[in-house]
Amino acid sequence: MALRLGDVAPNFTAETSEGKIDFYEYLGDGWGVLFSHPADYTPVCTTELGTVAKLKDEFAKRNTKVLALSVDGLESHKGWISDINETQNCTVNFPIIADEDKKVSSLYDMIHPNSNEKFTVRSVFVIGNDKKIKLIITYPASTGRNFDELLRVIDSLQLTANYSVATPANWKQGEDVVIAPAISNEEIPSKFPKGHKVVKPYLRTTPQPDL
């Protein structure tokens, strides 16, 4: 059965390029991004892993750890990491799961027969500090993932988890947010002392509350 938003992310142990890990222990009390790759030495994924390596500090600011997966083995991973570091001018600084038995791929429904019966699709799971799945995106092989967008989504997810707000289209850190419909007009001054604007009775905005 496919995983859905709000489901508890399945725990697992796996061999990785940085040793054996327990997924929950690796995440600790933080957030996580688990993202899969069809195989080692694939061109688009090479650029993606390099990009993530360069963004590790940005993920760390958000108390978020990244974890990649490919169905190839550890020796293959080591050679690929060397290529990634060379071609992307980076140092891969996070684990890549060696999922040769496809245990994790199956657990997270990463193998789609309509795409390929042997290799994982390019999935992304964002997992909250409650170990629940907050975001699922599946990309085609030809389109590189936008990790700036994933950082933006994590900002939104972490903000909306702590405040009764939602983020509008194309929202970025520091911009106004939408007050949740469940909040009455009478409650707004105490909950959002920075002020608010009523665009429509159902559309009320306020400055980002955690800044």
Are 124 and 180 contained in the same domain? no
> At 170, which CATH number?
3.30.1020.10
Confidence of residue 142 (pLDDT cuts 50, 70, 90): confident
> At 110, which CATH number?
3.40.30.10
Tally of domains in the chain:
2
Q: Does the residue 113 lie in any domain?
A: yes
Q: Which of 117, 154, 130 is nearest to 35 (CA)?
A: 154
Are 135 and 168 contained in the same domain? no
Q: Does the residue 8 lie in any domain?
A: no
Q: Does the residue 102 lie in any domain?
A: yes
The Cβ of residue 96 has, within 10 Å, a number of other Cβ atoms equal to 25
Q: Does the residue 150 lie in any domain?
A: no
Confidence of residue 111 (pLDDT cuts 50, 70, 90): confident
> Is residue 13's pLDDT more than 60?
yes
Q: Does the residue 63 lie in any domain?
A: yes
Are 167 and 141 contained in the same domain? no
Are 124 and 175 contained in the same domain? no
Are 73 and 127 contained in the same domain? yes
Are 139 and 168 contained in the same domain? no
Q: Does the residue 132 lie in any domain?
A: yes
Are 140 and 184 contained in the same domain? no
pLDDT digits (tens, 9 = 90+) for 187-198: 999 999 999 999
Residues catalogued as catalytic: 45
pLDDT digits (tens, 9 = 90+) for 146-197: 999 999 999 999 999 999 999 999 999 999 999 999 999 999 999 999 999 9
Long-range contacts of 173-178 (CB under 8 A, 24+ apart): 173/208, 174/208, 174/211, 175/208, 176/205, 176/206, 176/207, 176/208, 177/205, 177/206, 177/207, 177/208, 177/209, 178/203, 178/204, 178/205
| Predicted TM-score (pTM) of this structure | 0.92
State which residues form the domain around 104.
13-145
**74-88 and 43-54 helices cross at what angle (nearest 10)?**
70
Are 133 and 39 contained in the same domain? yes
Q: Which of 107, 147, 157, 159 is nearest to 3 (CA)?
A: 107
Are 122 and 202 contained in the same domain? no
Are 61 and 128 contained in the same domain? yes
Are 125 and 180 contained in the same domain? no
Are 48 and 141 contained in the same domain? yes
